[in-house]
């Protein structure tokens, strides 16, 4: 396999799909060496097959807004790879959603899900619907219209969507309600991230952020460091940022920054329970601004149009969107003494940022390893649904701990360099790839 040849071919076939091409390139560069040691992969054209989604559904979603006006959005579901289990992955509602974004996310999901140790294939879906400023009734009507098109292509044993940016418990509820009505099937396993009284799992709302911090703890322990007493900068203020801020605080770190599209909140005294609760209220307000946090808590300061990476911190945790931390941000963080960066968002760092961190040999780990606790706990939700039982919070949390520990171990196994530095990007990509590739090989040419 030659990365350049495959990339040139993909660029020709999928011009302008920048996020997708970026995600593929990162994986191919990581696995090239290992791949070329396996002529059976080359013979079965594993890479050429793996980089293309199994299928893409795209559909029109028409709904009526509160003023009685008709709105039309585009909906998508990308079933990327089913080698190790039913399609599994979130749904993103964001105005910038397009095929490239969802293909990158579905591709990443395939390897991430393989890392979780659970039998889940990779998928992603979403819409260019913008939830900002929408009323609850509008959100409901949109979710219903979206599911009206999607329901026939998903199911507990075929494809199990969940939340992502712009889709939380409320949206999953509206989509699940409509699914039941259309499918006349009352199997809760069709979606994950459900409410706790109707098939949801304890710890699922916290799982992405909690799992990320468990992963960071392992990284730090391996490097002889501790999170206790460290300062942490977090981007975003949604569900993932909230989970990360909650666990970081519990582990004795000081969360000195959270951010939004409008700027950053400098929070030198760290989080309190009241502040953490307010993050959820801010998200639920659908305004997508973080400034009110500093109006409510006077020990915090809002700095408009600045990123979280302008705040001095030991540990940087991108928790919002892809490519939210670029090469300049990475250089600024390093200059301010940051010694660990972990992507909690999917592909949160640009290739330049990753190269900057790795060149400085600081601790750095990619989203598909760090944030896998979210989808892993979705997998645990599916198990509970299939068994018609619910586990205690402690039981789910201990399973999440175990999963994050094994993901960390897999990264170390495949990513340790001769000088002892762990290249977590390489480790995660090779570990995920090997599992999916072996499964594809064993299942023949399909």
Name the one range near ligand GLU by CB under 6 A: 50-58, 371-379, 388-396, 429-437: 371-379
| Selected binder of ligand GLU within 102, 154, 162, 400 (CB under 6 A) | 162
> What ranges in 269-371 are assigned the alpha helix state H?
273-284, 292-296, 327-335, 351-359, 367-370
Q: How far is the CB of 181 from ligand GLU (least distance, A)?
A: 22
Residue range at the interface with ligand GLU (CB under 6 A); choices 87-95, 282-290, 412-420, 429-437: 87-95
Decide whether 90 or 415 has the Cβ nearer to ligand GLU: 90
C-alpha span between 8 and 278 (Å, rounded): 47
Site string for ligand GLU, 111-140 (x = CB under 6 A): -x----------------------------
**Listed residue (93, 94, 283) closest to 174, CA to CA:** 93
Q: Which of 20, 80, 88, 189 binds ligand GLU (CB under 6 A)?
A: 88
Q: How far is CA 231 from the centre of its chain?
A: 23
Stretch that binds ligand GLU, among 3-11, 63-71, 88-96, 289-297 (CB under 6 A): 88-96
Does residue 221 sit in helix, strand or coil?
helix
Q: Which of 82, 239, 378, 429 binds ligand GLU (CB under 6 A)?
A: 378
From 88, 103, 112, 124, active-site residue: 124
Task: Return the structure tokens found at 282.
Answer: 């801010």
Shortest Cβ contact with ligand GLU: which residue? 90
C-alpha–C-alpha distance, residues 331 and 352, integer Å: 10
Phi-psi category of residue 193: left, alpha or beta, with phi > 0 → left and psi -120 to 50 → alpha = left
Sheet with 263-266, strands from edge to edge, namely 301-304, 263-266, 254-260, 231-234, 315-317, 340-342, 363-365
For residue 295, the tally of other CB atoms under 10 A from its CB is: 9
Using alpha carbons only, what angle is made at residue 439 by residues 435 and 443, rounded to the nearest 5 degrees? 175
Binders of ligand GLU in range 184-213 (CB under 6 A): 192
Tally of CB atoms within 10 A around 204? 24
270 vs 374 by CB, closer to ligand GLU: 374
Closest to ligand GLU by CB, 159 vs 314, is 159
* 375 lines the binding site for ligand GLU (CB under 6 A): yes
Report the DSSP pairing between strands 159-162 and 301-304. unpaired
Q: Does 240 bind ligand GLU (CB under 6 A)?
A: no
CB 347 → ligand GLU: shortest distance, Å?
A: 10
Look up tokens 């909140």; give the residue: 265
159 lies in the binding site for ligand GLU (CB under 6 A): no
Q: How far is the CB of 248 from ligand GLU (least distance, A)?
A: 19
CB 44 to ligand GLU: min, Å:
28
Q: How many CB atoms lie within 10 A of CB 285?
A: 10
| Active site (annotated) includes residue 124 | yes
Q: What is the dihedral of CA 344, 350, 351, 355, to 10 degrees?
A: -70
Q: Examine residue 77 and tell whether it contacts ligand GLU (CB under 6 A).
A: no
Query: Binding of ligand GLU at residue 346 (CB under 6 A)?
Result: yes
Q: How far is the CB of 348 from ligand GLU (least distance, A)?
A: 11
Residues in the chain, total: 446
Beta-carbon contacts of 401 under 8 Å, excluding residues fewer than 6 positions away, are: 214
* 345 interacts with ligand GLU by CB under 6 A: no
Q: Is residue 322 within the footprint of ligand GLU (CB under 6 A)?
A: no
Q: Which residues bind ligand GLU (CB under 6 A)?
A: 88-90, 112, 162, 164, 192, 346, 374-375, 378
Active site (catalytic) residues: 124
């Amino acid at each position: 396999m030659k990365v350049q040849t495959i990339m040139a071919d993909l660029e020709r076939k999928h011009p302008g799909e920048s996020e997708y091409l970026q995600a593929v390139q990162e994986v191919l560069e990581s696995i090239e060496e290992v791949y070329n040691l396996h002529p059976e992969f080359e013979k079965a054209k594993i890479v050429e097959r793996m980089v293309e989604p199994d299928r893409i559904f795209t559909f029109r979603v028409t709904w009526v807004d509160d003023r009685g006006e008709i709105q039309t959005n585009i909906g998508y579901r990308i079933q990327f790879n089913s080698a190790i289990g039913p399609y599994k992955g979130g749904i993103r509602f964001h105005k910038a959603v397009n095929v490239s974004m969802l293909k990158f996310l579905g591709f990443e999901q395939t390897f991430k899900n393989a890392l979780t140790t659970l039998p889940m294939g990779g998928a992603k879906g979403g819409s260019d619907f913008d939830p900002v400023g929408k009323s609850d009734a509008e959100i409901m009507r949109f979710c219903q219209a979206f599911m009206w098109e999607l329901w026939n292509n998903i199911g507990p044993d075929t494809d199990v969507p969940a939340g992502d940016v712009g889709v939380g418990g409320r949206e999953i509820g509206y989509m699940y309600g409509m699914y039941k009505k259309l499918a006349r099937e009352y199997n809760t396993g069709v979606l994950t991230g459900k409410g706790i009284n109707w098939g949801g799992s304890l710890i699922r709302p916290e799982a992405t952020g909690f799992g990320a911090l468990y992963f960071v703890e392992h990284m730090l322990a391996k490097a002889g460091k501790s999170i206790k007493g460290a300062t942490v900068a977090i981007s975003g203020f949604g569900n993932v940022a909230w989970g990360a801020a909650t666990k970081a605080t519990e582990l004795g770190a000081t969360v000195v920054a959270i951010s939004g599209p409008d700027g950053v909140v400098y929070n030198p005294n760290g989080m309190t329970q009241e502040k953490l609760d307010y993050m959820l209220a801010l998200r639920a307000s659908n305004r997508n601004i973080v400034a009110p946090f500093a109006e409510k808590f006077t020990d915090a300061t809002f700095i408009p149009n600045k990123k979280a990476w302008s705040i001095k911190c030991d540990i940087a945790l991108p928790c919002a969107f892809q490519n939210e931390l670029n090469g300049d941000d990475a250089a600024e963080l390093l200059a301010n003494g940051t010694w660990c960066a972990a992507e909690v968002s999917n592909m949160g760092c640009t290739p330049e940022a990753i190269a900057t961190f790795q060149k400085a040999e600081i601790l750095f780990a990619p989203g598909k390893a760090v944030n896998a606790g979210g989808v892993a706990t979705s997998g645990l939700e599916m198990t509970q649904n299939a068994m018609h039982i619910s586990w205690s919070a402690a039981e789910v949390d201990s399973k999440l701990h175990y999963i994050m520990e094994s993901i960390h171990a897999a990264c170390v196994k495949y990513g340790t360099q001769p000088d002892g530095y762990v290249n977590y990007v390489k480790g995660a990509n090779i570990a995920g790839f090997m599992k999916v590739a072996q499964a594809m090989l064993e299942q023949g040419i399909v």
